Amino acid sequence: MIFLVHYDRRAQQLLRFDKYDDADHVRAADDRLELELSLLGSDRENEIVLFSAASEAALRVSHARYFYSLEELAIAAAQSQGPMPC
20 membership: H or E segment, kind and range: strand 13-20
DSSP-assigned states of every residue in 36-78? HHHTTT-SS-EEEEEEE-S-HHHHHHHTGGGTS-HHHHHHHHH
pLDDT of amino acid 46:
92
pLDDT of amino acid 84:
56
- Per-residue pLDDT tens, the chain, 86 aa: give them: 999 999 999 988 999 999 999 999 999 999 999 999 999 988 789 999 999 999 999 999 899 989 988 888 888 788 865 555 55
The dihedral region occupied by 74, where left means phi > 0, alpha psi between -120 and 50, and beta the remainder, is alpha
Hey, where are the domains in the chain?
Answer: 2-78
Distance CA 48, CA 39 (A): 10
CA angle 59, 74, 6 (to 5 degrees): 40
pTM over 0.75: yes
